[in-house]
């Protein structure tokens, strides 16, 4: 939500935030509908990106509505120790990083 606020207040970009609370079942109808309106996606997850929620969303969109995507989370690495704030920063799961990923995905829209 904070990343959405950054994008709106600093760049004038309107974004949507979708809470994908489960990978199975994946709310395919909602995701496709939102992506058709937005045209770009950033997924953010507090675990491995490969084989996670971002991958499930990418598979869905590849079949129904391909768009530019960015994936925030652990990029094929082992977990590490630290405070929650340190780990969020280390794995780029903070609002400024998510906002930057959104700008990158948006810049690739056709």
Residue-level pLDDT at 29: 96
Q: In the chain, where are the structural domains located? A: 2-107
Q: For 29-55, what is each residue's pLDDT tens digit?
A: 999 999 999 999 999 999 888 899 999
Top pLDDT among 79 and 41 is at 41
Instruction: Assess whether pLDDT exceeds 80 at residue 93.
Output: yes
CATH number at 2-107 = 3.40.50.920
pLDDT at 94: 96
The confidence score (pLDDT) of residue 27 equals 95
> Is-cis flag, bond preceding 92, omega within 30?
no
User: Counting beta carbons within 10 angstroms of the beta carbon of residue 32, is it exposed (0 to 12), middle (13 to 18) or buried (19 or more)?
Assistant: middle
Whole-model pTM: value is: 0.89
User: How far is CA 21 from its chain centroid?
Assistant: 13
- Average confidence (pLDDT) over 3-11: 96
């Amino acid at each position: 939500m904070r990343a959405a606020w950054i994008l709106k207040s600093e760049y004038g970009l309107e974004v949507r935030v979708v809470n994908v609370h489960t990978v199975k079942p994946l709310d395919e109808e909602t995701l496709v509908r939102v992506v058709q309106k937005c045209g770009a996606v950033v997924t953010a997850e507090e675990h491995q990106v490969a084989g996670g929620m971002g991958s499930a969303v990418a598979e869905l969109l590849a079949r129904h509505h391909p768009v530019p995507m960015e994936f925030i989370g652990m990029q094929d690495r082992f977990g590490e120790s630290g405070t929650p704030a340190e780990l969020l920063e280390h794995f780029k799961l903070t609002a400024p990083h998510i906002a930057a990923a959104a700008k990158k995905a948006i810049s690739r829209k056709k």
